[in-house]
Amino acid sequence: MSGTATPAPRGLDGVVAASTRLSHVDGLAGRLIIGGYELQELAGRVSFDEAASLLWRDHLPDADELAMLRQEMGILRHVPSQTLSVVRAAVRARPIDALRMACATLSLDLPNADDISPPADLAAAKMLTARFPTIIAAHARMSIGEPPIPPREDLSLAANFLYMVHGREPDPIAARALDTYWTTVIDHGMNASTFAGRVIASTRSDMVSAVTGAIGALKGPLHGGAPGPVLDMLVEIGEAGKAEAWVRRELAEGRRIMGFGHRVYKVRDPRADVLAKVAEQMSGAILHDRQLFELARAVEQTTLRVLEEAKPGRNLRTNVEFYTALVLQSLGLHPASFVALFACGRVAGWCAHVIEQHAEDHLIRPQSEYIGPKGLKVAR
């Protein structure tokens, strides 16, 4: 170490890396504040594009602003041919990898990709948020040998995504469920992908570069999560009466129970509460079959009880992954795409952080603690 710098905790735990107006996570109280609003005040009550505008412009849009935003983003949904070429080349890759590669090409469609002025950043934020669902839908279609379906400008962002995937206009409840999901995951404090994006932006690099880097951080399993394996867990358990034995066996073998525990929350993840309600609505209105939802409820209660007994004081509660799995599978979406679908919501938050970091205009440059040898000599 040089000077008087103090070594930071491992993983920067507890270190405040930035001041932000965008979101606040209170892990002890189980609260998530987005742009001044409690999550429960926003999710399901305002649309995803309204929540995005809140983060980008520091206020919820009025009727005229919202109409203009929707018109702009409707036009922006169409992706350039070079981006579709990359998606086609990545047809065998995971959706999150295809999104990372395709995202990098989107700067080719900007008048000045290096412009980081507030108007340019806002324009890039709208473009990225509008196009991420188009990219994921195109990859989903190409992966099964079908041509991409062009986006429609008259549907909401969520409804248009489901239309592009399934080829038919979705049930309004399904579109609202996806819209609520994206609002729920739009931002979440200084997580790894957000921090990665802010570090890139702090060098005065552009919006597309910062967001591409954020995707690279998200794809790592320690951050992007695993909502897909939650479904595998429920299928393997099969019925409520087998849940306790299954959970105890997994714990005895040292394996993590998917959908439980969080790095920050020491109580129930508030996003899980929002998505549990969405899943319940979906199970009755869309599937007309509550079997999987009822199994999930039973498994959740059993798992919480067993975790408390096996790991007292660890406070391993239900996290956002658990009910994400139920919501997204109810929409007919493949588990392999779940992390990429998360990115379709989080991109609005990433863009807001890039806007904020560019305005701050200060390089993020921490020090490191050298722990290697010194004074080595080359033997000749």
Side chain identity at 346, as an amino acid letter? R
* Cβ(226)–Cβ(146) below 8 Å: no
Percent of the chain having pLDDT more than 70?
94
Kindly report, residue by residue over 123-169, the tens digit of the pLDDT: 999 999 999 999 999 999 999 999 999 999 999 999 999 999 999 99
What's the whole-model pTM score? 0.92
For 287, other C-beta atoms within 10 Å of its C-beta total 14
Kindly list the catalytic residues.
262, 321
Q: From residue 174, how far is each of 90, 137, 282, 330, 332 by CA, in Å?
A: 28, 16, 7, 8, 10
For 219, other C-beta atoms within 10 Å of its C-beta total 19
Please provide the DSSP assignment of 254-290 as one string. Answer: T---TTB--SS-SS--HHHHHHHHHHHHHHHHTSS--
CATH 1.10.10.10 fits 227-330, yes or no: no
For 82, other C-beta atoms within 10 Å of its C-beta total 12
The 3-state DSSP class for residue 154 equals coil
- Residues sharing a CB contact under 8 Å with residue 310, sequence separation 6 or more, in sequence order: 248, 251
pLDDT over threshold 70, residue 357: yes
pLDDT of residue 215: 98
Q: How far apart are the C-alpha atoms of 213 and 311, rounded to whole Å?
A: 36
**Domain limits of the chain?**
227-330
pLDDT over threshold 70, residue 289: no
How is residue 331 annotated by DSSP?
Answer: T
Q: What is the mean pLDDT of residues 90-97?
A: 97
pLDDT confidence tier of residue 330, bands split at 50, 70 and 90 = confident
Q: How far apart are the C-alpha atoms of 295 and 136, rounded to whole Å?
A: 30
- 115 phi, psi to nearest 5 deg: -75, 120
